[in-house]
Amino acid sequence: MQETITRNEDRGSEKETLMQLVGFMIGKELFGVDILMVQEIIRETPITSIPDSPDFIEGVINLRGNIIPIIDLRKRLNLMSGQESNDDIWIIILNVQGRVTGFIVDLVTQVMKVPVDSIKPPPELVVAGLKSQYISGVCKIDKRLLIMLDFDRILLVEEIKKLNAMKRS
């Protein structure tokens, strides 16, 4: 969601476009996703495992009659820091290209308004690897860096086909 605010200052007015992001943590890293993609955030939901599914797919949940695949974002982004915390499960339900998918994160922090011009493209060294193509930008929040994820690219075409097959069975 983008909105424009106007600041009246001594030297005139300045327009600034803001983007609303839902912030979440994986390990000690801060990530963000456009609030328009977020359908809801849920906790403490039983997840049913799916046999022969990729490692990062935890299973499926039944959310008000809809079967939704659940992806462990820590595993998908290869952010395994030696500790897996399944104590508090936070699931962000996103609409990704018309597919409703849940993503397990460690903690959902807050909704933030970030000036669009403060979002910088990721460094070339980071995106040089094919696996890092899902980082859409980086911005500074307080004294931390927030990594914006492009959930449209998190899943590869073959993985999307597997998810669609899971829904049909």
At residue 90, the pLDDT reads 94
At residue 14, the pLDDT reads 45
pLDDT in tens, 135-168: 888 888 888 888 888 888 777 655 666 666 655 5
Domains contained in the chain, number: 1
CATH number for the domain including 54? 2.40.50.180
- Which residues 6+ apart lie within 8 Å of 15 measured at CB? 4, 5, 6
Q: Identify which has the larger pLDDT, 10 or 36.
A: 36
pLDDT in tens, 15-71: 569 889 999 998 888 999 999 999 999 988 899 998 888 888 999 999 999 999 999
End-to-end CA distance of the chain: 35
pLDDT in tens, 99-143: 899 999 999 998 999 888 888 887 765 544 545 577 888 888 888
CA distance 101 to 167: 11
Question: What domain range is 101 assigned to?
Answer: 2-168
Integer angstrom CA distances of residue 127 from 6, 91, 130, 131? 34, 26, 7, 8
3-class secondary-structure state, position 9: strand
Integer angstrom CA distances of residue 99 from 50, 67, 93, 120? 18, 11, 10, 28
